[in-house]
Structure 1
């Protein structure tokens, strides 16, 4: 949940230049297999889409204001983006501009913040156009 709060703060900070989306994928630590000491909830392995939707709702409560999508039961989004366990992406005009490492070790909000800071600076810098006659 701490990472989710960090993501929420980042989204609030850059809301003027980017749209943010959380995609809830397969539960990384289902309660019947792995119990995380810092988990706020015990979530069993999803048996159906309704299970996944209920679990996603808990995540949404931890990040209000950020749109949420839910992966299909065949984990199509997770497979397409190599997201398992968690991963950060920036997609611009249908192209991946930033792909963070796989979580938990490769999940680095600081890298995402750096990319967004640089992008924001480019947007605010006036560009010079030289026309030769």
Structure 2
């Protein structure tokens, strides 16, 4: 949940230049599977979409100002973005502009903050042309 709060602060800080979306995917540490000793919630493995929607509601409570989507039961979003089990992306005009490392080790809010700071500076600099390659 600490990472979720950090993400929420980041989203609030950059609300003027970016839209943020959380995508709830497969539970990383289900209570009936590989249990984490520091798990904040007791969430069993999702057996159906309703299970996943109920679990996602807990995330919604942790980040109420950010839109929330839920991955399909075949984990299409997770597979497409290699998000197993958490990852940060910036997507512009259907192109991946920033791809963070895989969580938990590669999930670095500070790295995304730096990217967004640089992007914001480019947007605010007069005469600067941003060319996407």
TM-score, normalising length: structure 1? 0.94
Deviation at 1:32, TM superposition (A): 1.1
**Deviations, residues 75-98 of structure 1 (Å, cap 9, x unaligned):** 000000000010000001110000
Q: Which consecutive residues of structure 1, in runs of 5 or more, have no partner in the other structure?
A: none
**Deviations, residues 79-129 of structure 1 (Å, cap 9, x unaligned):** 000000100000011100000000000000011000000000011100169
Rg larger in structure: 1
Q: Does the C-alpha gap of structure 1 residues 23 and 129 become closer, same or farther in structure 2, counting only changes over 3 Å?
A: closer
Between the two proteins, the alignment pairs up a number of residues equal to: 133
**Deviations, residues 54-83 of structure 1 (Å, cap 9, x unaligned):** 000001100111000000000000000000
Cα-Cα RMSD = 3.9
Instruction: Tell me if structure 1 keeps the 8 A contact 2:122–2:130.
Output: no
Deviation at 1:39, TM superposition (A): 1.9
> Structure 1 stretch 61-70 or stretch 120-129: which is displaced more?
120-129
Q: Which consecutive residues of structure 2, in runs of 5 or more, have no partner in the other structure?
A: none
Deviation at 1:36, TM superposition (A): 2.1
Aligned partners of 2:93, 2:19: CA distance in 1, in Å?
A: 12
TM-score, normalising length: structure 2? 0.94
Aligned partners of 1:76, 1:29: CA distance in 2, in Å?
A: 19
